Amino acid sequence: MPRRSRGFAPIAAPDARVLILGSLPGQVSLARRQYYAQPHNAFWRIMGVLCDAGPEWSYEERADRLRVRGVALWDVCKAAVRPGSLDASIDLDSVLPNDFRTFFRTHPAITTVFTNGGTATRLYTRLVLPGLGEPARSLPVQPLPSTSPAHASLRFEQKLARWQAVAVALRALG
């Protein structure tokens, strides 16, 4: 049996207001111990526009900029078997979800959950939501297009337009 990939701790300040969820770090991210380290992934370019946390900053600075702006970043999977980096390769029977009960209890200001791609959305709604209590279970979940280069049906500008929902949510919260 292939080895399980293990995800990272969340990037989150205690007063985070929105949560962005991926599925599981890919091979480049795992090797570098950084979220979205694959250079062709659009995540940090999008965060550059939305939160001034773009790839021109060091990874530590990008993480700090997300925290300051009220953005938390995590993955649905704490661990899973996935040969390669494609979400479609995640062995669903091997998925161990992260501890979202504790996360939401320690981050009570979260008002919206955004999911980065269809796999993150499906994993969260199937494996996490049923086990959550209120008020976490009732938080809005807004699916966003994957920032992965494998999701090539949308150009960067189209992805960015959809991801503006994160900035809208943050502005609405003050």
* C-alpha separations of 166 from 23, 106, 111 in Å: 18, 21, 11
Angle of helix 59-68 relative to helix 43-51, nearest 10 degrees? 50
The string of pLDDT tens digits covering residues 67-76 is 999 999 999 9
**Average pLDDT of the residues in 85-106:** 83
Helices and strands counted in the chain (H then E) = 6, 7
Q: Check residues 92 and 23 and name the one with the higher pLDDT.
A: 23
CA atoms within 13 A on the CB side of 151: 18
**Average pLDDT of the residues in 163-174:** 90
Under the banding of pLDDT at 50, 70 and 90, the label for residue 174 is: low
**Average pLDDT of the residues in 28-47:** 94
Peptide bond into 135 cis (omega under 30): yes
Q: Please check whether residue 74 is in contact with residue 18, taking contact to mean a CB–CB distance below 8 angstroms.
A: no
The model's pTM is 0.93
Q: Which residues contact 25 (CB under 8 A, 6 or more apart)?
A: 5, 7, 8, 35, 37, 75
Query: Position 135: which residue type?
Result: P
Domains of the chain, by residue range, sit at 4-172
The string of pLDDT tens digits covering residues 39-65 is 999 999 999 999 999 999 999 999 999
Give the C-alpha separation, 32 to 130, whole Å.
33
What is the CATH code for 4-172?
Answer: 3.40.470.10
Residue 72 corresponds to which tokens in the numbers above?
């938390």
